[in-house]
Amino acid sequence: MCGIVGLAGRFEHKETLLAQSCDRIAHRGPDSRGFWEDAASGVALGHVRLAIQDLSEQGHQPMASADQRFMLVFNGEIYNHPQLRLELEQDGYTHAWRGHSDTETILAGLMIWGVEATLKRMVGMFAIAVWDRQTRNLVLARDRFGEKPLYYGYAPDGLMFASELKALMPLPGFDTQLNRDALALFLRHNYIPAPYSVFKQVRKLLPGTWVSLSAEQIATASWPEPVSYWSALDVARNQPRMRFEQDGDAVDGLDRVLRQAIRGQLLSDVPLGAFLSGGIDSSLIASLTREEAAGTLKTFSIGFTEPEYNEAEYAAEVARHLGTDHTELYVSAQDSLDLIPALPHMYDEPFADSSQIPTALVMRMARQEVTVALSGDAGDELFGGYSRYKRVQQWWGKRERVPAGLQAPLGAGARIAASLLSGPRAEKFGKLEQVLGAENMVAFYRQFVSYWQDPASVVKGASEPASAFAQAPLDSLLDTMMAIDTVSYLPDDILVKVDRAAMAVSLETRVPLLDHRVYEFAWSLDEKYKLRGGDSKWILKQLLYRHVPQQMLDRPKKGFSVPMGQWLRGPLRDWGEQLLALPRLQSQNLLDAQRVREVWMQHQSGQADNSPRLWGILMLQAWLDEYGIKP
């Protein structure tokens, strides 16, 4: 796991500039750093390394291919690279291997197979930049699900790219003009979805894509269209359904493909462990990892002193049953509050999933004992686990019982009622208007996952751009929700939250459920294997029950949350009041100051819990202060 930076163009003193950029992301790679420049082409690459595979100098980056054609910087892990080496040798790669790093394997793949064929063969997480000396093209590529970040954009002197935005900010000519359209999306979702970034002149490369930039395109600041080499949405729409004689055969199939993923992700030359929350997904990953790994598995969980948020006792029970070397850390509200000032720097783009707080705390704890940790993320997206899925299906069912001709007029009546009322009653009529007014399943779901229903009216001068919610619905509402979450909420919220929190303490996290073969298997299953008798993630649970007694797991999930509503009325009130002061909001001329103040005061009075919407505004304001950005 590492951090990458690069420049292409007329920038002067590139080594000094990239040294400054590397300083900004040194947490991603504390073990070593490297620099390479092709002065004739104007291309320079920088790298900070967290050594996981091949800890020797043979794994140092930037790294050249054996024929010297390609120069590469790479952030991530390729889990199947030992198998790829065998395939490369069979396909004619005759050079002696210098070491056993996956970086060298990627370069060999580029030599033998080319860019797209190599990307399609790789199983892993990655952000890659490679300069082709022969074609004079710069290729940027990102893994299938977007586990690893990659920003790229233009300054007057040329192209720049990096693993984190903060690495680009010190570069000369970096344009800090805010993308107000992207901020409208941020207020809707509390994250900024790719390809947008908070800055107008910077984009995120979409998951599962690569882009090739010629010297001419770089010189003219062109934005070529990224090429897709794999699409989660295409799989969701087109994966053939499998038929099983018995339910147990389906469970066996999941067992095989998930173990295959875990075996690959155990590839490491440094200590490795697993997170264990006591829930279904993490317990299953820990169970299979313990069986597949050599030696005793280290597991980690975080507990809260408030009983209504604490699941550590359940995680400890599962750990005892599995026989893992378990570590738990109980944190107080003050521990969480003390972390908040560090969040804008950790998440160097406005980001407002409040579970970022406990996530950062558990990463910090795990890093004291291991350098790599496996997580159970993505089980909800793949197997229909989010509780909101049930609520949305219930509301959709109610809507479908209303005759089509009455939906529009009833929705209009609900909108009028909402405007005349206040508090909870207004919210109920507002929800009814949303339910009846949605044009299809995608629009219907979008309303349920929106924090602000009309964010473009809150961000001054904004026009909300298209996002993943512009997709056509799939065959069922559940499929539609899972697919959209996989290409929006998962990469731009969950994976961002985990990557930044883990890399802030130089910890690598791995997600076995995001092996694309596991994803393809999940989408080959009929819906009954995900949702049965009102029970979500049915097949995951059946597999887990083979390893952990059912009674140890059958309980409502509390979630990885914090009492933000209470904090904003208590210990965080003064902090929030300072960030949301009316004179400050008015002078910024970024947000509708009166709207924001109304939401803040409504929360303070106890009329409603507006903490999710307010957390987004507060994280935006704290981010502006952290980086000295003037709207």
pLDDT band for position 424 (cuts 50, 70, 90): low
Asked if 143 contacts 208 with a C-beta cutoff of 8 angstroms, the reply is yes
Distance CA 447, CA 462 (A): 19
For the chain, the structural domain boundaries read: 2-230, 239-385+488-552, 387-483, 564-627
609: helix, coil or strand?
A: coil
Per-residue pLDDT, 515 = 98
pLDDT for the residue 57: 78
Q: Confidence band (pLDDT; 50, 70, 90) for 561?
A: confident
| Spatial contact of 618 and 580, defined as CB atoms under 8 Å apart | yes
User: Which one, of 526, 6, 25, lies nearest residue 247 by Cα?
Assistant: 526
Q: pLDDT digit string (tens) for 169-185? A: 999 999 999 999 999 99
In 61-169, which ranges are continuous DSSP H helix? 81-90, 102-112, 115-121
Buried b (16+ CB within 10 A) or exposed e, 128-159: bbbbbbeebbbbbbbbbbbbbbbbbbbbebbb
Q: For 443-470, what is each residue's pLDDT tens digit?
A: 999 999 999 989 999 999 999 999 999 9
Q: Model confidence over 331-352: pLDDT tens digits?
A: 888 999 999 999 999 998 999 9
Task: Assign domain 239-385+488-552 to its CATH architecture.
Answer: 3-Layer(aba) Sandwich (3.40)
Known binding-site residue numbers for ATP: 302, 375-376
In degrees rounded to 5, what are phi and psi of residue 298? -85, 130
**pLDDT, position 452:** 95
Among 4-13, 53-62, 278-287, 580-589, the minimum mean pLDDT is found in 53-62
Read off the pLDDT of residues 116-160 as tens digits, 9 standing for 90 and up.
Answer: 999 999 999 999 999 999 999 999 999 999 999 999 999 999 999
- When mean pLDDT is compared across 183-197, 262-276, 301-315, 536-550, the lowest value belongs to 301-315
Lowest mean pLDDT among 5-9, 374-378, 394-398, 483-487: 394-398
**Where is pLDDT greater, at 427 or 566?**
566
19 and 78 Cβ atoms separated by less than 8 Å: no
Active site residues: 2
Q: What is the pLDDT of residue 412?
A: 84
Of 439, 429, 430, which is closest to residue 407 (Cα–Cα)?
A: 439
Higher pLDDT, 429 or 299: 299
Per-residue confidence band for 559, with pLDDT thresholds at 50, 70 and 90: low
Nearest to 50 by CA among 99, 1, 5, 3: 1
What's the average model confidence in pLDDT over 497-525? Answer: 97
User: Taking all residues of the chain, what is their mean pLDDT, rounded to a whole number?
Assistant: 94
Residue 54 predicted with pLDDT over 90: no
Q: Which helix (H) or strand (E) holds 284?
A: helix 280-292
Tokens found for residue 110 = 């580029």
Range from 27-41, 147-161, 190-204, 423-437 carrying the lowest mean pLDDT: 423-437
Share of the chain above pLDDT 90, in %: 84
Binding-site positions for L-glutamine: 102
Q: Is 595 helix (H, G, I), strand (E, B) or coil?
A: helix
Q: How many CB atoms lie within 10 A of CB 570?
A: 12
> What pLDDT score does 53 carry?
67
Q: Which CATH architecture has domain 2-230?
A: 4-Layer Sandwich (3.60)
- Is the pLDDT at 51 greater than 80, yes or no? no
* Pair 327, 299: CB distance under 8 Å: yes
pLDDT of residue 558: 64
Tokens of 465: 């751009």
Report the C-alpha gap between 101 and 77 in whole angstroms. 9
- For residue 333, which phi and psi values (nearest 5 degrees)? -60, -35
CB-CB contact of 513 with 285 (8 Å): yes
Res 1: pLDDT: 65
In sequence order, what are the beta bridge partners of 204? 151
Radius of gyration of the chain (CA): 24
pLDDT in tens, 59-85: 889 999 999 999 999 999 999 999 999
pLDDT value, residue 294: 84
Binding positions: 102, 302, 375-376
